[in-house]
Amino acid sequence: MTRPTVDLRPIQPPLPRPRPLAHFFTRPQVIALVAVLLVNWALFPGFFTITWQDGRFFGSLIDVLNRGAPVAILAIGMTMVIATKGVDLSVGAVMAISGATAATLVTNGIPAPVAVLAALGTGILCGFWNGILVTVLEIQPIIATLVLMVAGRGLAQLITEGYIVTFSDPLLIFIGTGSFLGLPMPVIIAVVLMIAATLIVRRTALGLLIEAVGVNRSAARFAGLKANALLLIVYTFAGFCAAISGLIVAGDIRGADANNAGLWLELDAILAVVIGGTSLMGGRFSIPMAVLGALIIQSMNTGILISGFSPEFNLVVKSAVIIVILVLQSPISARLFRRLPGAQK
Amino acid sequence: MNRSLRPLLATTLIFLFAYMLAVSQQPAMLSTRVLGNFLTDNAFLGIAAVGMTFVILSGGIDLSVGAVIGFTTVLVAVLIMWLQLHPLIAFAIALIVATGFGAVMGAAIHYLKVPSFIVTLAGMFLARGGASVLSPDSIGIEHPFFSAVQKSYILLPGGGRFTVVGMIMLAVFACAIILAHRTRFGSNVYALGGSETSAALMGVPVARTTISIYALSSFLAGLAGVVFSLYTSAGYSLNALGVELDAIAAVVIGGTLLTGGYGFVAGTFIGVMLQGLVQTYIVFDGTLSSWWTKIVVGVLLFMFILLQRLVFKAAPRRT
């Protein structure tokens, strides 16, 4: 990212867009998810059991979806940012800010819908700030977003005045723990956001433009693209996604914890995006695959918990996953796999 | 005066100005006691930030330093308390492990051609996870050597204490300044940060230098972990959470350019001291909560990034 290298390899032709369904099931991410789920099933035979109770579904699988939703939502925004060759480290802090805003407003007697809109607004504002740093001031994304990552939790504390603000507002709690059509609300929000974002980028030229900026920002600008406006939109969208996640996490625990809400989730989101096959070098991205990546991470978390290992193993397993992916994506393995059909890329 | 020294000068002036401002509010801050504690309290951050300086100078980033500090404290505690090794042997083992860890990360960055930030992110997970697998609980260290080191200090006029920990930090900075500005390795680091392709064409051993840089960074993070364990007499896997961010902030505030190839180790020292100043002032004031530190550091970070932008945007036109 920070090292410019001269790449003289010929550009591979893009895959044809409408892929057959069979192709979907042979993608490494899908195979990985199925494998992790099967391991979980072997460890805990009731893993796939889903029961209907009190008007909603219950079961470990639903739990994986529910717990994975905040990271999945972050990953949707992060995918777009990474596709432009950037990264957003501030999403965890933005989650804390948005949760703190909503909780503080509600406890001060502001109607919940206004509080929710205000929280989303602060998220958008934070994303916009990142975008300004990246475009107008031309700061490297990793550093530009670091500013908010460092200061953001302090700002969240400023909003909550250092307390963990608890609330009992039905709307906020519904966002975190409610259910709609039998599915938990976070899952519904994540699915809707994923479909909307995918349609917007893939059914319009937006996705193509984002990829163009990610491949070569100056070339894209010379070709007449408003690269800066696109980057602003992308970072603002990432802030918006982070704000939604923050609302969910706050609603889930019925309180805003400025210190711990969304702590290290930016790293999980980046990992989900990388697992989803989006290149950190920009220019190639897939939102549904990033969401799948978030589900893989959550399935591993759940698997480690139900297998009785201590949660600390999570970190070791995650690092092992990153290492495997890095090796698979590296030029060395590309050389090795080049002759195999259906290899990476 | 040399134009390239200007950002360093700006940082120094801002530090002096901030210190005078703090003293005018809290006269008690102008004492060798406070200065001595400055060095002791920020020793681990300073040592880690030196390693980070080299990494950033080469155009990379190391997110694993906080985790390596945490891991080292746990490893040292385990070796001393469970295996009954002498602390010095434990320190040596911990430093070797940390250095090897960094070398592997450097090799991965070079040979797999992946951004340093994702490799060191994996390293961070691995080190934190490894530490909590070794021991999820905090281990207290009790050893005569530890208490002896903690009790030994040079008394400064005015009652300030210049502790062993503070001395280690100053020694590390002195060595690092020589390493960065007076050796071939240092020149290679700067060359790599300027442009990896040009550096390779000029005959800089890119592979060896990259591996050495990350090995050095992890070695210093390990040393910071040793200092941390001397400072707190405990090993805990969640020690030094987020120190990588403080270290990056210190390096940036110290005037090192984030794109690599430009900066001074001495600037990092002032960056660390400036952060320490903010923290100490907030403690002295008593009415401000500790989270103001984060906000002020964030604002400082932003100011210095802006300053760099202005200085370096103006530069090409003049030359």
Across the range B294-300, mean pLDDT stands at 82
Of B189, B206, B214, residue with least CA distance to B103: B214
Contacts A327 to B, Cβ<8 Å: 112
B126 touching A (Cβ < 8 Å)? yes
Using CA atoms, how far apart are residues B39 and A229, in angstroms rounded to an integer?
A: 46
CA B116/CA B120 separation, integer angstroms: 6
Eight-class DSSP state of B183: S
CA-to-CA distance for A344 and B114, rounded, in angstroms? 16
> Could you tell me the two tokens for B66?
């906080």
Rounded Cα–Cα distance for residues B47 and B221 (Å): 7
Report the alpha-carbon distance of residue A323 to residue B165 in Å, rounded: 35
Residue A55 has pLDDT above 70, yes or no: yes
What is the predicted pLDDT for the residue at B304? 80
| A324 shares contact with chain B (CB less than 8 Å) | no
* Of A139, A317, A332, Cβ closest to residue B309: A139
Confidence of residue A343 (pLDDT cuts 50, 70, 90): very low
- What confidence tens digit (pLDDT) does each residue in B88-111 have? 999 999 999 999 999 999 999 998
pLDDT for residue B129: 86
CB atoms within 10 A of CB A151: 23
Q: What is the 3-state secondary structure (H, E, C) of A55-88?
A: CEEEEHHHHHHHHHHHHHHHHHHHHHHHHCCCCC
Instruction: Tell me the backbone φ, ψ of residue A51, rounded to 5 degrees.
Output: -110, 155
User: Does the structure show a pLDDT above 70 at B319?
Assistant: no
Bridge-based pairing of strands A50-53 and A56-59 is antiparallel
E strand or H helix at A111 = none
Using the 8-state DSSP alphabet, how is residue A12 labeled? P
B62 reaches A (C-beta below 8 A):
no
Q: What is the pLDDT of residue B317?
A: 43
Q: Across the interface, do B133 and A6 touch by the CB < 8 Å criterion?
A: no
Structure tokens, B220:
């210093």
Partner residues linked to A58 by β-bridges = A51
pLDDT, tens only, B168-219: 999 999 999 999 989 999 999 999 988 888 888 988 899 999 999 999 999 9
Pick from A238, A302, A234, A224: which is nearest to A266 by CA? A238
Is the per-residue pLDDT at B316 higher than 50? no
pLDDT of residue A233: 94
With tokens 């490297």, the residue in question is A140
Q: Cα A169 to chain center, whole Å?
A: 27
Mean pLDDT to the nearest integer, A170-188: 86
Neighbours of B175 (CB within 10 A): 12
Residue of A143, A151, A155 lying closest to B258 (CB–CB): A143
Kindly determine whether residue B299 and residue A151, on different chains, have CB atoms separated by under 8 Å.
yes
Indicate the pTM of the whole model.
0.82
Extents of the domains making up chain A: 55-308, 315-345
The pLDDT of residue A32: 81
DSSP β-ladder status, A255-256 and A56-59: unpaired
Residue A20 pLDDT > 80, yes or no? Answer: no
* Mean pLDDT of the B44-49 span: 93
Does residue B129 belong to any structural domain of this protein?
A: yes
Q: For residue A247, what pLDDT band results from cuts at 50, 70 and 90?
A: very high
Q: Is residue B317 part of a domain?
A: no
Q: How far is B199 from chain A (nearest CA, A)?
A: 11
Task: Please say if the pLDDT value at position A201 is more than 70.
Answer: yes
Tell me the mean pLDDT in the region A140-149. Answer: 84
Q: Using 50, 70 and 90 to split pLDDT, how confident is the model at A159? A: confident
Please name the residues in contact with A238: beta carbons below 8 A apart, sequence gap of 6 or more.
A77, A78, A80, A81, A88, A91, A127, A130
Smallest Cα–Cα separation from B164: which of B172, B153, B155?
Answer: B153
Between A and B, how many residue pairs show a Cβ–Cβ distance under 8 A? 142
Distance CA B315, CA B79 (A): 52
- Chain B residue at shortest CA distance from A129: B302
Is there a domain that residue B252 lies in? yes
CA distances from B26 to B18, B141, B274 (A): 12, 36, 16
In a domain, B261, yes or no: yes
Asked if A319 is an interface residue toward chain B (Cβ–Cβ < 8 A), one would say yes
Q: What is the CA radius of gyration of chain A?
A: 20
List % helix, strand, coil for chain B (3-state, nearest 5): 75, 5, 20
pLDDT value of position A345: 41
Which pLDDT value is given to residue A140? Answer: 80
Non-local (6+) Cβ contacts of A304 within 8 A are A311, A313, A314, A317
Instruction: Say if residues A172 and A106 touch (Cβ distance below 8 Å).
Output: yes
Q: Count the Cβ atoms, other than its own, within 10 Å of residue A317.
A: 17
- Which residues in chain A are closer than 8 Å to B119, comparing Cβ atoms? 326
Tens of pLDDT, residue by residue over A21-46, are: 666 666 777 888 888 888 888 888 87
DSSP β-bridge partners for residue A166: A255
Q: Is residue B35 part of a domain?
A: yes
Given a contact cutoff of 8 angstroms between Cβ atoms, the answer to whether B26 and B284 are in contact is yes
**CA distance linking residue B56 with residue B252, whole number of Å:** 9
* Nearest residue of A to residue B309, measured between CA atoms: A137
Residue in A318, A314, A297 with CA at minimum distance from that of residue B136: A314
Contact map slice: B 244-303 vs A, CB within 8 A: 245, 248-249, 252, 258-260, 289, 291-295, 297-299, 301-302
Q: What percent of chain A has pLDDT over 70?
A: 88
- For the purposes of burial, counting CB atoms within 10 Å of the CB of A295, is it exposed (0-12), middle (13-18) or buried (19 or more)? buried
Chain B CB within 8 Å of residue A137 CB: yes
pLDDT exceeds cutoff 50 at B133: yes
Check CB contact under 8 Å for B122 and A322: yes
Q: Are A134 and A227 in contact (CB under 8 A)?
A: no
Percent of chain B clearing pLDDT 70 (strictly above): 96
Q: What's the structural domain count of chain B?
A: 1
Q: What is the mean pLDDT of chain A?
A: 83
Strand, coil or helix: B84: coil
Angle at A305 between CA A303 and CA A307, to 5 degrees: 65
Greatest mean pLDDT range, B65-69, B135-139, B310-314: B65-69
Report pLDDT digits (tens) over A69-102: 999 999 999 999 999 988 898 999 999 999 999 9
Does position A16 have pLDDT exceeding 70, yes or no?
Answer: no
Spell out where chain B has E strands: 139-140, 153-155, 161-163, 234-235
Residues B237, A131: Cα–Cα separation, whole Å: 35
- The CATH code of the domain that includes B69 is 1.10.3470
**What is the per-residue burial (b if ≥16 Cβ within 10 Å, else e) of B181-192?**
eeeebbebbbbb
Q: What is the pLDDT of residues B53-90, one digit of tens each?
A: 999 999 888 989 999 999 999 999 999 988 888 889 99
Q: What is the ipTM of this complex?
A: 0.75
Q: Looking at chain B, which residue has its C-alpha nearest residue A259?
A: B291
The residue-averaged pLDDT of A133-144 equals 84
- The arrangement of secondary structure in A55-308, i.e. its CATH architecture, is Orthogonal Bundle (1.10)
The Cα–Cα gap between B227 and A117 comes to 47
Domain hosting residue B14, numbered range: 3-310
* B315, part of any domain: no
A38 or A195, which is more confident:
A195
Residue window 71-130, chain A: list those with CB within 8 Å of chain B: 87
Q: Please tell me which of the candidates A5, A150, A267 has its beta carbon nearest to residue B294.
A: A150
